[in-house]
Amino acid sequence: MAGNSFGRFFRITTFGESHGRAVGVVIDGVKPGMPIDTEFIQHELDRRRPGQSKVTTARQESDRVELLSGVFEGRTSGTPICMIVWNKDQQPKAYEKIKNMFRPGHAGYTYLAKYGISDYRGGGRSSGRETASRVAAGALAKAWLAEHGIEIFAYTLEVAGVRAKTIDLREIEKNSLRAPDAEAARKMEKRVLRAKREGDSVGGIVEVVVKNPPAGLGEPVFDKLEADLSKALMSIGAIKGFEIGNGFAAARLTGSENNDPMYFDKKLRRVRTRTNNAGGIAGGISNGEDIVVRIAVKPPSSIVKEQETVTIVGESALISLEGRHDPCICPRVVPVAESMVALVLLDHLTRQELMKRKSSLKDLRDTLALVDQNLEMLDAERRSLIREIKWLMGRRRTRIKKRSR
């Protein structure tokens, strides 16, 4: 399986499955001497952890993080950092009754079609459990971005048609939906609990805001900042849509309505815009205004309501998913979305710093070291693909021999 790594200069590779022994992450491209705050990493994991309220799954995981490598005396050593989170509350027997049926909305069929094998125990690699790895890595990125004055906030903007009317960042962690509007949060919770009683689920919209980003992050063509943000956020399993700034609403505006008037801020001594319809990015590059993006979160696919499906041999069946499932995943998506945005920004910030460095011997060696790290990972992926090709060729030869007999 390819595609388990993300990033170019600050690069992560996640591993593990929902009902395996653990999930974890390996981080490459880390500068030596950076401080590691394990309490903050744990705090971020606790925000994503299941079983925190009546609007989330009842699965109980402590999600205690262990740092296995890359850290010495509280600082990074410059070598790959490996973090692991053990799975403590797996209940694979809960899936025994439905292991031969495809679950609507899940990746069971597509995994089987692609790989010839599918882990029925909670979706395996496709489970939201994988995002614990992203949050652990994202916590490091958020802490290091904060040293540059960059802060990232996400919140539930809308659930089941109920939308926040006010944005108060102080309210986010005070309610079960992580909404920035206390009154809207109460209405959202009622909609979620009603869906739960009916054996159903609901979706919503999560908004992410980056405060104090520097101007100049991103590239003008294929590595546009919003393109990388879109890929990062759309890689989260429950996400079905992405927009930045005015997003799709811009399609219904005129140029004069959608453009952001510009002026020179004498106090900050930089160019600013009077509005932020662009969402903080122009031409693929950050302009120094707040970066504002939104993602569409689908209703969780695991529901009690009976649904039509088929078995792995193509027989018609009806399926009802009993067990511990989220009726709304939005509040748990919030820390994951923040983490993915942080990973993108730190990767682009690292790229920008490398571009601005003077071409001294040390700087060139540092750049070469980063390139070497990426080459090593690409070489490992290449060897993995070669092994897979050999295995497939071996299977094909075996089939041909059997037919010839």
Decide: 80 and 27 in contact? Cβ < 8 Å. yes
Q: What is the dihedral of CA 227, 157, 166, 42, to 10 degrees?
A: -90
Helices and strands in the chain: count of H runs, count of E runs: 8, 18
The predicted structure's pLDDT at residue 353: 87
Q: How far apart are CA 115 and CA 120, in angstroms?
A: 14
C-alpha 135/C-alpha 142 separation (Å) is 10
Q: What b-and-e string marks burial along 280-300, b requiring 16 or more CB atoms within 10 Å of the CB? A: bbbebbbbbbebbbbbbbbbb
Task: Give CA separation, 223 vs 100, 230, 291, in Å.
Answer: 42, 11, 16
Whether the CB-CB separation of 239 and 295 falls below 8 Å is answered with: yes
pLDDT at 60: 63
Rounded CA separation 325/129 (Å): 12
Distance CA 148, CA 151 (A): 9
Written as one string, the DSSP assignment of 205-270 is EEEEEEESPPTT-S-SSTT-HHHHHHHHHHTSTTEEEEEETTGGGGGGS-HHHHS--EEEETTTTE
Residue 405 CA to residue 275 CA, distance in Å, equals 74
Work out the end-to-end distance of the chain between its first and last CA atoms, rounded to an integer number of angstroms.
Answer: 33
User: Which of the 8 DSSP states describes residue 61?
Assistant: -
Give average pLDDT by consecutive 10-residue segment, the chain, 405 residues. 90 89 94 94 90 68 89 95 88 74 87 81 77 96 97 98 97 96 97 94 98 97 97 96 98 98 95 98 98 98 92 91 84 97 98 76 74 82 86 72 55
Distance from C-alpha of 172 to C-alpha of 179, rounded to nearest angstrom:
5
What's the sign of the alpha-carbon dihedral 55, 58, 63, 64? positive
3-state secondary structure of 318: strand
Angstrom distance (rounded) from CA 199 to CA 321: 9
Can you give the pLDDT at residue 100? 86
E strands along 100-248, which residues?
Answer: 151-159, 162-163, 204-211, 239-244
Other Cβ atoms within 10 Å of 53 Cβ, number: 14
Residue 105's pLDDT is: 86
Rounded Cα gap, residues 295 and 155, in angstroms: 11
Specify the DSSP element, H or E, that contains 193. helix 182-197
**Cα(121)–Cα(90) distance, rounded to whole angstroms?**
9
